[in-house]
Each structure stands twice: as structure tokens, then as C-alpha cells.
Amino acid sequence: MERVIVIGGGIAGMKTALDLNRRGIGVTIIEKENRLGGKVLGWHRLFPTFTPANEVVDTLKAEVASSEIDVRLGTCATALTEHSVTLSDGTVLDCDAVVLCSGFTLFDARIKEEYGYGIYDNVITSADLEEMFNQGRVGLKNGGRPRRIAFLHCVGSRDEKVCQRHCSKVCCVTGVKQAIEMKKLFPEADVFNFYMDIRMFGPGYEELYREAQQSYNIHFIRGRISEASPTIEGRLQIKAEDTLTGRPLKISVDMLVLLIGMRSNDDNASLAESAGLQLAQSGFMAPRDLFLSNVRSNRDGIFYAGTVTAPKSIGEVLNEGAAVADAVTEYLS
Amino acid sequence: MAAIEWGFSINRPRVIDVDRNNLRKSDEILLEMPELQSCIGCGACTASCTAGNLTNFNFRKVHTLVRRGEYQGAYEEMNKCMLCGKCRLLCPRGINTRGVVMLIKRKLGDF
């Protein structure tokens, strides 16, 4: 029986493995964590429908568990060719094709020191907020309820200063979703979203944006926050330009949420070098083309699915899992 | 003959008339500093601007107007800049904003 190794056990890897396995192809998933699920395990509800994230990830996990897919947890791939994958313990697994589904890395908000993440209490990231939603403990560090909340879009995206030129695509709609969720939890709070451009690219996203404005009275201010500093009462003072009025603006808030972007994994470069794969300028893997071969690498027998090639939404990642299974099947036959 | 004061005057149109404006000077500026064209108008420069917090100086607006061919008064506006360079630290597009100030002053000194 042919065997395909899927590197990464997130939603892309699981969907790919399931679709290959359904066609009678042997699959091994390599996952660096001690559980399957990847980043989606950290999310609470998904845009734009507020679907619980665990509905998606638990369904996939249950399907993997009841299949014949061989799952190797707690180990990662350090090198690969189209016929083999080398694991971190030195084991070499032979195979007939490899699908790289190793995903992305969240931008480290501490690098944007001017926003004070890791310095001031109550400056948190969008991923921290999802974690708070999951734990059911949303609020200020001292347990209080925020009266004023600011979201900042494009943290670690479209930013030359931190070498992340690309748009992370999903932060815009995440910011709108989380602003609504905060307004639902704290109806008495004022919520402000500081944005540069609002990119509502998916079905239902623009509608969600409109709902945030009309039904939840969320304030959208077009301007990038230049700095956050503590006030004497322990709040945060934020400065920006309100670019639509052309005047500098300052505002004190209780909580600042940074919508952090998706960046490429640090080990993309070494994996690419081991297999002769091409990287995009952003550090993500470069597919053969963006149209008919968007799940194929430049090397026959090595494929991609999910956010290893670029930031993507969960729906797009799942589509790629299905697409790559098709491409691998065609290659093996 | 003394003009009669009717209490009315004719305003110049406020429209940015790109048909009438000559963009060649703007092209010269962008040729020297092409990255200026990558501005996304986020206003981080203006938010941090010391001069802009105290006067009506708005760096983002002035260089945008220059790129539309609106040169009138740009030199005088850019003279308000104190060249402190905080904007340059913040620009997410990596634009040498202080260099833009100097370049516009150099190119548009006669407008």
C-alpha cells in the first residue's frame, strides 16, 4: 500500500489525512505537540458565524481516531524528500509522497514594544482573548470589568519594521468578531477598533462588519496607534491620528487588544533547504503556482495544504485539505 | 473706479483637479523616493508628530496633496516640521519620512 506522510496535525493535516485515507491510501501524521488540533484548539468561536471552534476540531479528531491513520505525536520533521521524512529523534520514515501542513507562527507582539505587550497589564493579544473566552474569565488583570476597550488591527502585518510585509488576512474579521463578543459580555463598555483598511473578503464578513457598526455601536477609527502608555489611574493612554478628520487623537482605555498576524514558521527555511523547496518572500512556502497547482510544491511528490503557504481562514484550509488529497491521489496513480 | 463691495466673492473651487494639476513635479519626487507611493495612510507619522500636536501641520495630508499635484503651500507647511524623526521610527512601510520633508522642500521651494 502507498504511504503518504502528512507533516502537521492541525486542521489542514487532519483533513488531508482523512481524505487520503478514505481513498485507501496509508497515512502517517507527524505532530510536534502531544495532541492533534493545532492552533484551532486555542480559538473559542469562529468568524463569521460564531461557531464553536471545538465543533470543527473535535469532529476532525474523532474521525482521525476512528480511522486507520497512524498518528505520531510529540515529534517533528527536521528534513524531508519526496520519499522520506526525518524526525527529530533521527528516525527516517519512508513514504511515497509528503504533504506539508505545518501551518504558521503567531506574531510575537512584544516586538512591537510601543504597544506595551508584556509591559503593561491589560494589553493582550487576540489569541490571549480567545484563551480568556475559552476559560470563561474575561476581564481586567485586577478582575474588574473594562469600561472602554480598544482593538488594534495589523499588529505584525503589513509592517516593514518587523519584516512582515504581508497581510495576515484574518485579523480584520477577527477584530470585528471579538469586538462584538466583548460588547456582548460588557454592554456598558465602549469599544473602538483602530484600523488601516478593513478587508472583509469572505462570505458574511461584510455583513458582520455592518452588524458591529449598526447593532453594537462599535466605533471604527481609521488610524494606526502610535503608542500606548500608562496613565496615573492605571489605565492605558493611546495615541493615533484620526486620519478621516486629519487630527491627532488620544483616548484612555482599560484594555488594549492587539490583533496579531500570522507569520511563517522559523523552520520553513531549513525544511525548504533539505528538500529543495522554494520559499516566498514572506517566508511562507511558495506553491508551484497560485492557480492550478496551488497545493503542489516545486518538487514532484511534495505537496502543501493550509497556512504553510500563506495566511488563510479555516474554511479555506479545509478546502485545501480536500484539494491536496486529490492532487496526491493523481500523483500516486 | 472704486469697486462696489457687494458682500460676495468668488471662491476658487476646492476640488483637486487632476486634469489641471501637473503631476511631473510629483513624479520627480517619487522617482527619488519611490517608497513614498507605498503609504497606506495609517497616520502613525501624524499621531507621533510633535509639531502636529500643537499646530495644524499634518505631514500625511501634505505629502498626499503633493502626490496629487497640489504643490501650493507645501513648502511652507513642511517648514513646520521640527525634523525630530519620531514618524520615521513608526512608519510601517519603512518610508524615510524625514527625508520626504527635506525632498519636498528641495523640490517645491519655488511654489
Tens digit of pLDDT for each residue in A61-74? 999 999 999 999 99
Note the pLDDT of residue A240: 97
For position A324, what pLDDT does the model report?
98
pLDDT top residue among B13 and B100: B100
Identify the residue with better confidence: A288 or B14.
A288
Q: What is the per-residue burial (b if ≥16 Cβ within 10 Å, else e) of A167-190? A: bbbbbbbbbbbbbbbbbeebeebb
Tell me if B55 is assigned to some domain: yes
- Subunit contact A154:B92, Cβ cutoff 8 A: yes
pLDDT over 70 at A331, yes or no: yes
> Which DSSP state fits A141?
T
Distance CA A250, CA A237 (A): 7
For residue A187, pLDDT beyond 70: yes
User: Between chains, do A239 and B47 touch, taking CB under 8 Å as contact?
Assistant: yes
Quick: pLDDT tens for A213-227. Answer: 999 999 999 999 999
Closest-CA distance, A23 to chain B, in angstroms, reads: 47
CATH number for the domain that contains residue A218: 3.50.50.60
Among A217, A241, A262, the domain boundary falls at: A262
Residue whose cell numbers read 478546502: A319
B64 is a domain residue: yes
- Asked whether residue A213 falls in the same domain as residue A251, the answer is yes
Helices then strands (H, E): number in chain A? 7, 20
pLDDT at A87: 97
Say yes or no: A128 and A165 in one domain. Answer: yes
Residues A36 and A178 in one domain: no
The whole-number pLDDT of residue B109 equals 87
- State which residues form the domain around B100: 24-32+43-108
List the single residue in A159, A197, A248 with the smallest CB-CB distance to B53. A248
Residue pointed to by grid coordinates 479528531: A61
Distance between CA A259 and CA A107 in Å, rounded? 9
Helix, strand, coil abundance in chain A, percent, nearest 5: 30, 25, 40
Both A120 and A255 in one domain: the answer is yes
Is A158–B94 a contact, with Cβ atoms under 8 angstroms apart?
no
Size of interface A-B (CB pairs under 8 A): 69
Number of separate domains in chain B? 1
Instruction: Quickly count: other Cβ atoms within 10 Å of residue B2's Cβ.
Output: 4
Q: What pTM was computed for the model?
A: 0.94
Q: Are residues A84 and A129 in the same domain?
A: no
Is residue B82, in this structure, part of any structural domain at all? yes
Contact at CB, B40 and A159, closer than 8 angstroms: no
* Nearest one of A139, A127, A149, A158 to A193, comparing CA atoms: A149
Q: How many CB atoms lie within 10 A of CB A68?
A: 9
Which of A205, A231, A262 marks a domain boundary?
A262
Using pLDDT thresholds of 50, 70 and 90, give the confidence band for residue B111. low
What is the pLDDT at residue B7?
A: 86
> Residue B53 and residue B87: Cα distance in Å, rounded?
13
Q: Is residue B12 pLDDT above 90, yes or no? A: no
In degrees rounded to 5, what are phi and psi of residue B74?
-65, -40
The pLDDT tens digits of the residues spanning B48-107 come to 999 999 999 999 999 999 999 999 999 999 999 999 999 999 999 999 999 999 999 999
- Minimal C-alpha gap between A224 and chain B (Å): 5
The answer to the question of residue B38 being in a domain is no
| Length in residues, chain B | 111
How buried is residue B67: exposed, middle or buried, by Cβ count under 10 Å (0-12/13-18/19+)?
middle
| Domain shared by A80 and A141, yes or no | no
Residues of A in contact with B48 (CB under 8 A): 226-227, 239
CB atoms within 10 A of CB A240: 26
The answer on A243 and A114 residing in a single domain is: yes
Question: Quick check: is B14 in a domain?
Answer: no
Q: Which of A238, A262, A286 is the last residue of a domain?
A: A262
**Phi–psi pair at A201, nearest 5 degrees:** -90, -15
Residue B16 included in any domain: no
Residue B3 has pLDDT above 80, yes or no: no
- Work out how many domains chain A is built from and give that number: 2
Torsion angle defined by CA atoms of residues A275, A281, A283 and A284, in that order, rounded to the nearest 10 degrees: -80
Please give the residue range of the domain that contains residue A166: 109-262
Do A174 and A279 have their domain in common? Answer: no
